[in-house]
């Protein structure tokens, strides 16, 4: 056995990359003054590799002889989370859930076992005491009879307890607080996170117990730690939403057992996170009809269509420079749309303050929202209220043309189901079968839209 040696390495606290010398700026992520010094031990015996998780040597198999049986899944008692995972959590899988502080990661992870008492759950917390978890469980409600709480950060003690209790589900909050004794570095470092994830993966694959990991994120919104953490796990879920808003979106970024085009919407209440089975009913107008500056967009996020309200306010610039502000929408794209309105349609907005807000605190990236943004801005400019039974789905190009969007038929069907009578789309949109119960209005460019809508 090689003798152990000690050497000094520098690692970036933002992205986790390691370097042999100090650097002012990290070459990987470009951040300044994020290097931290750490001494590591080399030449010592290494941990068991991941390929020996089963404890036996593997031999190659013919691809045609491989069984294609459906994965054994376990329901978590939440219809939205089960659908997001592809029909339940797969036995022996490792799930990583990330999000901003206070977004609801710990609330959801504790809420799952409380509302699914049939599962024997081991909840490992490294950030809170047992009493703190108990206080949160009392607020969330549900049954805590089959939920075991362990306040521990040492991985050897955690895995020993997990083998003795033999749970049906294991939750670790959070991976950045756990450490392995044979790694000479502090908890949350790159080497500790890699080894903790590797040990939990071996435990999950060898015992068949699904493990849910809670992860912190950096200021850029990415999961803290080395990128290999996301490669090791089977599923990566991202919590999104404004802390001040009521709605949260749980999005699937990676899923080895299902689709990554799914999302689940929750509403934060005093008793925990409430599932929103139909987000459209929560995001459409909640005010009296006849108000200008509002438009309804038929959005598609992943495979789920839903409608939400776009709000705009246009006023004369009080100061010399006009302000551009957008909440839940890319302000650069807003500037582009305003430039298109001025150049292609002749609307002078250079001396106007424009404020844009996406209702519900959601962050919208679907280009199909362009048409609703344009209509909301024009509605506020003209002080003209768009009829409440009209919605929009279209992308706006730099030449002022309205471009078709994907799955327009699904958007129209969702709008008809919610009681809308008209939907404005691009004139180049093709429907295999005309949607029933709603009138489809096709427009080619912004001038045609203005003539059809503000007549």
Rg from Cα positions in the chain: 26
- Look at residues 163, 232, 150 and name the one whose alpha carbon lies nearest to residue 197: 232
174 preceded by a cis bond (ω within 30 of 0): yes
Task: Look at residue 426 and give its three-state secondary structure.
Answer: strand
Per DSSP bridges, beta strands 18-19 and 5-12 are antiparallel
The dihedrals phi and psi of 223, each to the nearest 5 degrees, come to -70, 130
- Look at residues 409, 313, 405, 310 and name the one whose alpha carbon lies nearest to residue 366: 405
Integer distance in angstroms from the first to the last C-alpha of the chain?
A: 85
The dihedrals phi and psi of 103, each to the nearest 5 degrees, come to -80, -25
- Look at residues 264, 278, 280 and name the one whose alpha carbon lies nearest to residue 359: 280
- Cα separation of 265 and 345, whole Å? 37
- Cα separation of 357 and 363, whole Å? 10
Polymer length in residues for the chain: 455
The answer to whether residues 402 and 449 touch, using CB atoms and an 8 Å cutoff, is yes
Give every residue of the chain whose pLDDT is below 50, as ranges.
Answer: 1, 44-55
Q: Helix crossing, 370-382 with 446-453: angle to 10°?
A: 50
Per DSSP bridges, beta strands 294-301 and 263-269 are unpaired
* DSSP secondary structure string for all residues of 382-417: HT-PPPTTEEE--EE-TTSBEEP-TTHHHHHHHHHH
- Cα separation of 154 and 196, whole Å? 10
Rounded to 5°, the CA angle 224-77-155 comes to: 40
Report DSSP state, residue 217: B
For the entire predicted model, the pTM comes to 0.72
Bridge partner residues of 298 (DSSP): 307
- Cα separation of 303 and 407, whole Å? 9
Bridge partner residues of 255 (DSSP): 235
Report DSSP state, residue 323: P
Dihedral sign from CA coordinates of 44, 47, 50, 53 = positive
- Cα separation of 236 and 227, whole Å? 12
The answer to whether residues 204 and 210 touch, using CB atoms and an 8 Å cutoff, is yes
Residue 151: per-residue pLDDT: 94
- Cα separation of 452 and 455, whole Å? 6
Dihedral sign from CA coordinates of 7, 13, 14, 15 = positive
Close Cβ partners of 231 (under 8 Å, ≥ 6 residues apart): none
* DSSP secondary structure string for all residues of 46-95: PPPPGGGTTSS------GGGS--PPP-EE--S-HHHHHHHTSSEETT-EE
């Amino acid at each position: 056995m090689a003798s152990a040696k000690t050497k000094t390495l520098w690692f970036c606290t933002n992205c986790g990359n390691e370097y042999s010398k100090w650097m002012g700026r990290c070459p990987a992520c470009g951040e300044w003054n994020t290097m931290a010094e750490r001494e590591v031990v080399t030449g010592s015996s290494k941990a068991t590799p991941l390929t020996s998780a089963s404890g036996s040597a593997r031999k190659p198999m013919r691809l045609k002889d491989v069984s294609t049986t459906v994965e054994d899944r376990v329901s978590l008692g939440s219809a939205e989370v089960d659908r997001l995972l592809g029909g339940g959590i797969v036995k022996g899988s490792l799930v990583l859930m990330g999000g901003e502080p206070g977004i609801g990661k710990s609330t959801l992870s504790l809420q799952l076992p409380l509302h699914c008492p049939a599962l024997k759950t081991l909840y490992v917390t490294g950030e809170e005491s047992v009493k703190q978890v108990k206080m949160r469980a009392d607020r969330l409600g549900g049954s805590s009879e089959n939920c075991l709480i362990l306040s521990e950060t040492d991985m050897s003690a955690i895995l020993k307890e997990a083998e003795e209790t033999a749970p049906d589900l294991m939750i670790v909050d959070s991976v950045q607080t756990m450490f392995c004794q044979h790694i000479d570095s502090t908890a949350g470092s790159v080497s500790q996170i890699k080894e903790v994830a590797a040990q939990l993966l071996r435990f999950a694959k060898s015992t068949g117990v699904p493990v849910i990991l809670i992860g912190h994120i950096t200021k850029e919104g990415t999961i803290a730690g080395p990128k290999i953490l996301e490669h090791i796990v089977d599923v990566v879920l991202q919590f999104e939403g404004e802390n001040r808003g009521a709605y949260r979106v749980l999005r699937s970024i990676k899923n080895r057992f299902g689709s990554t085009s799914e999302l689940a919407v929750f509403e934060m209440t005093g008793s925990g996170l409430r599932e929103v089975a139909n987000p459209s009913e929560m995001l459409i107008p909640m005010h009296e009809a006849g108000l200008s500056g509002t438009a309804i967009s038929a959005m598609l996020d992943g495979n789920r269509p839903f409608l939400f309200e776009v709000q705009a306010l246009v006023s004369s610039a009080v100061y010399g420079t006009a302000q551009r502000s957008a909440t839940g929408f890319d302000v650069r794209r807003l500037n582009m749309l305003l430039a298109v309105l001025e150049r292609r349609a002749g609307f002078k907005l250079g001396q106007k303050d424009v404020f844009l807000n996406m209702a519900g605190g959601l962050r919208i990236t679907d280009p199909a929202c362009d048409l609703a943004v344009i209509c909301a801005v024009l509605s506020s400019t003209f002080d003209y209220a768009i009829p409440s039974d009209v919605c929009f789905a279209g992308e706006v190009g730099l030449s002022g043309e309205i471009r078709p969007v994907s799955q327009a038929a699904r958007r129209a069907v969702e709008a008809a189901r919610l009681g809308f009578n008209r939907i404005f789309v691009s004139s180049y949109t093709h429907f295999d079968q005309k949607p029933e119960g709603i009138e489809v209005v096709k427009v080619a460019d912004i001038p045609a839209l203005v003539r059809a809508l503000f007549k």
